[in-house]
Amino acid sequence: KILIGKIKEYLEKAVKEQVDIIVFPGFTGCFFQQLNHPDNISLRNLIQDANGQEYIEEVKELSRNLKIIICPGTYWQKEKNNIYHESCLILNGEVLLKQRQIYLARWERELGFSRGVKIELKEIKDRKLALIISTDIFYPQVSRMAALKGADTILSPVGFTGEKNPALPLSGLWQEVQQNQFFAVESGFNGFLGKQSFWGESVIYAPLEMTEKGDGYLERSSGQKSLIIAKLDNEKRRKAISQFNVLAQLNREFYQQMKMFKER
């Protein structure tokens, strides 16, 4: 309940700041699950009990009568004999979009996770939203598919293993934002699951032309702020695109031939 109390605090802050969308860090739902287990549980044992539904129900309850689109981070979900790393969007007590991670990290493959197969898109409050989870930000085809489907804002709950590398975000969402001209909100998990440590940054990205320093960052936490906020102005984004439209240069027929771009 401590974690749910913290989430409630952030939602209250977001309401006060008149925020439209809030993105919680990757693995927040997994951390919720861990809190119900002994301290020394292994990641493998934690995953075997994977069920994000209790966490999602708690967030749905908190979301009632709020006008904020909530991405509750990520959670593990078991379906039949498969385990997926999943996220969703919640508004006023309803789940409006679900997304499964498509490309797995090595540790996820070793633990027997299953992959999602396609990127989903949902228009909510005049925004075309897609979720890109953790490792998927390093696979350009995922972002490109979201862009070709019309996404203007990518929400990305993440968490990375290994040594902290400040350059890593550049090879992930930063370059995807520049190559696809959408907004992106990345929310990074910092903490432990089992004995495995995770790190991440919280960053709000925009096309270079829209950022004050021309660096592609609207806001960046660098681990210092608990809540970062930026205005995502779609009118300004469209003006930036009108100067040079990246997607207009593409051979769309070529993309339609690629396996993951075919509807299933």
4 burial (CB, 10 Å; 0-12 / 13-18 / 19+) is: middle
pLDDT band at 254 (very low <50, low <70, confident <90, very high): low
The residues pairing with 153 across neighbouring beta strands, listed in sequence order, are 129, 183
CB 119 within 8 A of CB 142: yes
Q: Average pLDDT, whole number, for the chain?
A: 89
Q: Is 73 exposed, middle or buried (0-12, 13-18, 19+ CB in 10 A)?
A: buried
The first and second tokens of residue 159, run together, are 């968490």
pLDDT in tens, 59-76: 999 999 899 999 999 999
pLDDT of residue 164: 86
Percent of the chain with pLDDT over 90: 69
212 or 101, higher pLDDT: 101
Q: What is the pTM assigned to this prediction?
A: 0.91
Q: What is the DSSP string of 122-165?
A: EEETTEEEEE--GGGGG-HHHHHHHHHTT-SEEEEEE-B-SS--
Give the span between the Cα atoms of 218 and 173, in whole angstroms: 13
What is the predicted pLDDT for the residue at 158? 96
- The confidence score (pLDDT) of residue 264 equals 42
- CATH number of the domain that residue 41 is part of: 3.60.110.10
Nearest to 129 by CA among 159, 96, 107: 96
* Residues contacting residue 102 through CB under 8 Å, at least 6 positions apart: 115, 116, 117, 118, 119, 136, 139, 142, 260
Residue with tokens 């709000």: 204
Give 127-179 pLDDT, tens digit per residue: 999 999 999 999 999 999 999 999 999 999 999 998 888 788 778 999 999 99
Mean per-residue pLDDT, 16-23: 96
Range of the domain at 104: 2-261
Q: In the prediction, which pLDDT does 169 show?
A: 74
With cut-offs at 50, 70 and 90, classify the pLDDT of residue 226.
confident
Q: Six-digit token pair at 137?
A: 């930000």
CA distance 172 to 188: 13
| Across 11-21, average pLDDT | 96
Give tens-digit pLDDT for 92-115.
999 999 999 999 999 999 999 999
Q: How far apart are CA 153 and CA 125, in angstroms?
A: 12
Structural domain count of the chain: 1
| Backbone CA torsion sign across 35, 39, 41, 43 | positive
Nearest-angstrom CA–CA distance, 157 and 129: 13
